[in-house]
Chain A
Amino acid sequence: MKFGMSESKPVKSPIVPGIKMNKDVDGVIVDDTYFKQIVGSLMYLTTTRPDIMFSVSLISKYMSKPTKLHIQAVKRILRYLKGTSSYGIFYKKGGKEELLGFIDSDYAGDKDNSKSTSGYVFLLSSGAMSWMSKKQPIITLSSTEAEFVAATANACQAMWMRRVLRNLSYAQDGSTVIMCDNSSTIKHSKNPMMHGRNKHIRVRFHFLRDLVKDGEIELVHCGTQEQVADVMTKALKLEAFEKLRKKMGMLDLTEVN
C-alpha cells in the first residue's frame, strides 16, 4: 500500500460502530491532496468490496476540508483492508437465478444538513451483484419517506437489471422481491392511500406503486437481523457486520481454494 500504512495494525471492521460524522469545522485541517488520493483509491475498490461502500461514501462527503477526524476514519478503512485484503465475492454455481433486493435508509443521518442515506444491495447467484450507499438528494420528513426515496432508487436499478436479464433470456419469472424493514413503506406501496404527510414525494410514490401494480417488483417485510442493506447505511457492530458480509457472498481467498 502506497499510503504509508503497511506497518499498521489490522482491524476487523471498516468503521467505529455507531459513529456519526460531521463537518468538524473546528478540527485541525489536514493535507487534502493526500486525503483525496486515498478516498479516490478506496472508491475504485468499492467495485469489488461492498463491505466498505458505506464507510467510503461517508468520508467522501468531507473531501473539501478534511480534518484529523476524517483522516482517522480513512485510516481505519485502510487498516480494515489490511486485514481483509484477500476478501472478495463468490458467485456460486447453481446459485439462485432470481434477483433479490434489499433496501434500507438511515433517516437524517447526516448531522450537517439532516439528509438521509439510501442503501441497497442486490443478490444474484448467492453473491452481491449491485450495491449503493448514497446521501439522498432531498430532505425527507420521516423515516418512511426516507425509506421511500431509497426504495425508488432501488426500483430503478431493479428495472434495469430485469431488462438486461430478459435480453439475456433470463427473464425473471415473478416480480423481483425487495426486502424492506419498514412496514409502513410496504403498506404505502400496495395501498393507494395518500395524505398530506407524503405529498412532496408524490412522484416517487406513484412510480413505485405503478411498478408494484405491474408485478415488476414487490416489497416484502424482513427483520432487521436479515436486512443485508444495513451494511450500506449504518456503522454496524462487528458481529452484525460480519454476518451481513457473509450474506453478500464475501469470503476470504483461502476459503475458496
Chain B
Amino acid sequence: MDIVRLILALAACEGWDIFQLDVKSSFLPGELSEDVYIEQPKGYVKKGKEHKVYKLHKALYGLRQAPRAWFSCIESHFMKDDFQKCRSEQTLFIKRSSGGNILIVNIYVDDLIYTGNDTCMMIKFKNSMMQAFDMTNLGKMRFFLGIEILQKSEGIFMF
C-alpha cells in the first residue's frame, strides 16, 4: 500500500491525473509453466473415458499456480511494450519516451492504476491494454482496494 500512496502523493504534487483499469478475468489468460491435470468436472465427463483426466493449457481460478501465471503474463506484456520494471518494487512499471515524458503503472493483482505527464502515452497504453486483455476501463481512479479517492484541481484526497 505504501507504493499506492507514493504514486498518489507524486501525482498530486505534479497535478497529474490517475486512471484505473480492471481486468475482468485475470487468472484465465495466464500460461502455465508446468503440467497440471484436473479430474473431469461434473457435466464435462466424457462417456466411456471416465477414468481419464484433463490436462490444462491455461490457468484456472483456485489453482495454486494461477496468480504466478497471471503476473508472468502481464509482466511479459509490459516488457514487450518497452516498460522498465522498478528494481525495488516488483509491481511498479515505468515507461519513458524521448523528451522526458514518463508513464507510471502499478498493478495490484487485477487492479491497475497508471499516471504520467503525457496524455498521449496514457491513451496509447490504455488502448493497447484493452486490446491485449479483457479489461474494463474505469476512467479516473475513484475506488481502489476499498479506498476512495477524489482528484481535485488542488490535489488528491484519499479516505
Contacts and interface: CB of A to CB of B under 8 A. Distances in A.
Contacts, number: 104
Interface stretch (A57-65, A106-114, A124-132, A181-189): A124-132
B91 to A, nearest CB: 11
Interface string B112-140: 00000000000000000000000000000
Given A47-B1, A47-B147, A130-B5, A167 B86 contact: yes
B86 to A, nearest CB: 5
Contacts of A124: 6, 9-10, 13
A251 interface: yes
A44 B6 CA distance: 18
B88 A93 contact: no
Given A89-B158, A124-B6, A130-B6, 17 more contacts: A48-B158, A88-B148, A89-B5, A91-B13, A91-B155, A92-B12, A93-B14, A95-B12, A95-B13, A125-B9, A130-B5, A161-B6, A163-B88, A164-B86, A164-B88, A167-B88, A256-B150
Given A91-B8, A92-B12, A256 B94 contact: no
Interface residues of A, number: 34
B3 A164 contact: yes
The size bracket of the interface on B is: 35 or more
Interface in A10-60: 44, 47-48
B154 A92 contact: yes
Interface of A: 44, 47-48, 86-97, 124-127, 129-130, 157, 160-161, 163-165, 167-170, 251, 253, 256
B143 to A, nearest CB: 12
